[in-house]
């Protein structure tokens, strides 16, 4: 088994509970890690035998464009789409950081990390 990752994908998006977040938006960073068997891709140099990180990026981008209240829900939606495109994936880890969250103090970012299958009943 191996891991394909995209780290530090940056977006400006409008996720959050507060009206200011929905209006002004914020900077977000997304990390995607998928674990799968890509031995055939290694042996045969075949993109179809592994996870295409361009497709992973497109999934993240699509979800970042649709505002939600909670980052936990956003991560869940990304995981569901990744698994729909790549059902053979054994594990997915999504980390979402909201830079300068609206909490009334100085904070670099808030972080939500969701792991499939561990975080799913």
* pLDDT confidence of residue 120: 66
Element (H, E) at 26: strand 26-36
Number of residues assigned to the chain? 121
Q: Is 11 a member of any domain?
A: yes
Q: What's the domain range around 91?
A: 2-116
The first and second tokens of residue 70, run together, are 């909670």
Q: Is 38 a member of any domain?
A: yes
Spatial neighbors of 61 by CB under 8 A, at least 6 apart, are 11
pLDDT, tens digit, for every residue of 61-88? Answer: 999 999 999 999 999 999 999 999 999 9
Give the active site residues: 98
pTM for the structure as a whole = 0.94
Q: Is 121 a member of any domain?
A: no
CATH code, domain carrying 66: 3.30.1130.10
pLDDT, tens digit, for every residue of 21-50? Answer: 889 999 999 999 999 999 999 999 999 999
Query: Residue 45's beta-bridge partner residues?
Result: none
78 and 59 in contact (C-beta within 8 Å)?
yes
Alpha-carbon Rg of the chain, whole angstroms? 16
């Amino acid at each position: 088994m191996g891991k394909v990752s995209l780290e530090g994908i940056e977006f400006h998006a409008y996720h959050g509970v507060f009206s200011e977040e929905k209006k002004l938006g914020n900077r977000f960073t997304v990390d995607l890690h998928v674990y799968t068997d890509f031995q055939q891709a290694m042996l045969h140099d075949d993109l179809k035998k592994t996870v295409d990180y361009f497709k992973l990026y497109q999934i993240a981008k699509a979800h970042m464009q649709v505002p939600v209240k909670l980052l936990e829900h956003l991560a869940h939606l990304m995981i569901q789409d990744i698994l729909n495109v790549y059902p053979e994936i054994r594990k997915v880890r999504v980390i979402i950081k909201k830079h300068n969250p609206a909490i009334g103090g100085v904070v670099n970012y808030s972080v939500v990390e969701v792991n499939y299958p561990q975080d799913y009943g």
